[in-house]
Structure 1
């Protein structure tokens, strides 16, 4: 069961029918061929009344720092650019390692496939909002990183939320990095009078940690989910400082003016959100921090959580599932969070797969997307639109927002031809 469940978490879901030395290469070649005929692929732009901006924040140059991409309502300016979806080549290397394929080959294919895609948000654009913004901390899935859920995060920003998409440093991301001070030897050839802070720092990359032979999985995953939840709480604390006007040093030195966020956030209205391993992280974060008023959990992977965590979670949770991912044992663990005291809701989106939530689902053609299990039978824009609208309705209900998101309350109940109330999984069956 565990191997089956974990296998579904892979972004490109490599099948096991081919020899490993050619499996990934052939798959990526087919993917590239499929995308070569699809020139109109893009991450869909957000639909809310605001333009969406984004910037990156790194608190310091250690593992104990905080690293996230911030999405926010912004003022649109003509010179603002949209950032690359994949920030740099090392993230391609991380995806290759996670998929167990050759880096050199995959970097070329990944760059051909995804190198030209942009996130539908304006990089470092000025913050603009007519009211204080509720806050969401977003946690990515296994093998992902901070930019891969931009369709969800930009939509939330366009609807008036400030969203911090954390890039986790527990070695569950396919790639991430720290900044360390260069050695004296590395800076010896630099003119010290012209050396800035950026010149004295170098990226130190951290890649996905595979399970070692003979290693038990639960201790590793539970340790990771604990660290992930702590990183989410830390991101909230950093936003709290920024909101209070506490001076912050962003070691990435973006052009964004962080002072404009002072007194901009409604920190009485804060929620968690996450996909897969990030869904489990969201639940763990609710147990650790009561300032999170509720959570929206997308296709949760429940394995990393201890049973003792469940009674510590007292906030409302909305589980949004794909039709093809969930299995009986995982649903049984979700059901342990059922409560008569707080609202715990679940719905399932017909014709969707586990990868219907990350951006990959929009960036491959229909045939190849289904072959690679990045797309389900339902149009991905319809599926994500249902998920976003139902999530907004749930957030309004439990954050006390004065919006019109309650027009989508029926979706929380699964009232749509493309939705299933609760789950499509029969709990009497044995775990797959």
Structure 2
């Protein structure tokens, strides 16, 4: 994998294998629609948590592109990193970031944000990323590749090796993430022979997300059948779509008797996210079984049918892996410890789970049900040093992972955003692709049941959470070195 910054190489790096990749955006009516009447958005007085549809991107292997495949013969192999509509995404990021700082990239937790270094660099880092992101949003799609990643839109799935099927992965993004924010991580897995669904959460944590007519924030479907209004009336979407920008706790209205704390807000987001993971899985499963129709932006009926048929009987939906970053990592850990949110959403056949720098504050305190059981799938948690030296948070994480008989480790030199594509937008990024390569190597080895033999950890003894730090409170170790805290089950 090349280590040159995409800012200078004119594109995001290619995946770690030579496999060509495809990309699709899917919108599907919810199998179990759900609305919470409170809290409401102060700007509209309409409920925030209104699960009427689910959206996700699909990253997957394709055969070497042909100019006859898609795009009217254009043979396009790239997908825009900033999702459409880019202007709304720009506004959403500006609302989340402001013009004063990008502390969430440099210092995502109180420990990091209080360090003098991060306070000094925050303004310059913010201005640079602001310039890059927003100049991309205004750029014509054909003018440059700097805002695109390898992924042929709507290309058909490559047939798997004879007698096999592609396993399925579902990825959950963190705060201010989109379905494309982790394109490098998702693409790396897809290049290894996985079909990856990257969620776009509609819980107010994304910079901006389009709410379609079947998912108005009032909780009132556009017709008696939410599925019909979403799949059969796409021509009217320009008139009926609305935008949900990143939601701050202060922008909500609550009933007088309700808990209106930030903690409660995050807990409700967590529950919504878990529901969306279930909805995405069952949406995709039903699509492959020809039991449901969906919207695929950019695809007419015939093209959508051909795309879906290329997947039929080629994906093993019973071999499911869950992964996520930050809030998304916490989402997946919580999902494993709780029952399905609806009788209409059957349990997920989870084989393994990977949490990348999981954020645990929204999760309720563990109960006896959180203890490891024979049915608990193997768990891998990869931390950045910032989240490991966040003492209270790390101790809770260590206890939780230990109860789940999972793996816990830290990658030295990384930070909270190293798991995402964001560091690839800001030079220097020589280490950024190295960190992403490490995350992928560990993740792939774990999924294959070979983590104990991975050269990054095979010779290490677990420190059982006794983290070594220097006089400044910084973790001891070399850049890109893995520190093993807990050795789990395979």
Q: CA deviation at 1:309?
A: 6.2
Asked whether 1:70 is paired with 2:133, we answer no
Question: Which residue of the partner structure matches residue 88 of structure 2?
Answer: 90
Residues 237-286 of structure 1 deviation map (CA, whole Å, 9 limit, x = unaligned):
11221232324232535345112211221123111100000110111222
* Conservation of the 8 A alpha-carbon contact between 1:42 and 1:363: no
Q: CA deviation at 1:333?
A: 1.6
1:14-413 aligned at under 5 Å gives the runs: 38-40=7-9, 42-60=11-29, 63-78=51-66, 79-87=75-83, 88-101=86-99, 110-112=133-135, 115=139, 116-128=146-158, 129-130=160-161, 131-180=164-213, 197-202=233-238, 203-212=241-250, 215-250=260-295, 252-254=297-299, 255-256=303-304, 257-287=307-337, 288=339, 289-308=347-366, 311-312=369-370, 314-326=376-388, 327-339=390-402, 343-366=405-428, 379-397=431-449, 409-412=454-457
Do the aligned partners of residues 113 and 59 (structure 1) sit closer, same or farther apart at CA in structure 2, a change above 3 Å counting? Answer: closer
Distance 2:284 2:459 in 1: 34
Distance 1:249 1:283 in 2: 28
Distance 1:414 1:93 in 2: 48
SS of structure 1 residue aligned to 2:156? coil
Do the aligned partners of residues 409 and 38 (structure 1) sit closer, same or farther apart at CA in structure 2, a change above 3 Å counting? Answer: closer
Question: Which residue of the partner structure matches residue 463 of structure 2?
Answer: none
Q: CA deviation at 1:420?
A: 3.4
Distance 2:244 2:197 in 1: 20
* Conservation of the 8 A alpha-carbon contact between 2:451 and 2:457: no
Question: Which residue of the partner structure matches residue 105 of structure 2?
Answer: none
Distance 1:86 1:266 in 2: 30
SS of structure 1 residue aligned to 2:448? helix
Distance 2:94 2:280 in 1: 28
Q: CA deviation at 1:223?
A: 0.7
Distance 2:183 2:412 in 1: 22
* Conservation of the 8 A alpha-carbon contact between 2:168 and 2:321: yes
Distance 2:76 2:363 in 1: 42
Residues 172-218 of structure 1 deviation map (CA, whole Å, 9 limit, x = unaligned):
1111112127xxxxxxxxxxxxxx83321133111111122895211
Do the aligned partners of residues 60 and 234 (structure 1) sit closer, same or farther apart at CA in structure 2, a change above 3 Å counting? Answer: closer
Question: Which residue of the partner structure matches residue 8 of structure 1?
Answer: none
Structure 2: which 5+ residue stretches go unaligned? 31-49, 67-74, 101-126, 140-145, 215-231, 252-258, 340-346, 461-476
Distance 1:321 1:174 in 2: 24
Distance 2:171 2:387 in 1: 20
Q: Which has the higher contact order (CA 8 A, sep 6+)?
A: 2
SS of structure 1 residue aligned to 2:393? helix
**TM-score of the aligned structures, taking structure 1 as reference length:** 0.75
Do the aligned partners of residues 412 and 271 (structure 1) sit closer, same or farther apart at CA in structure 2, a change above 3 Å counting? Answer: farther
**TM-score of the aligned structures, taking structure 2 as reference length:** 0.66
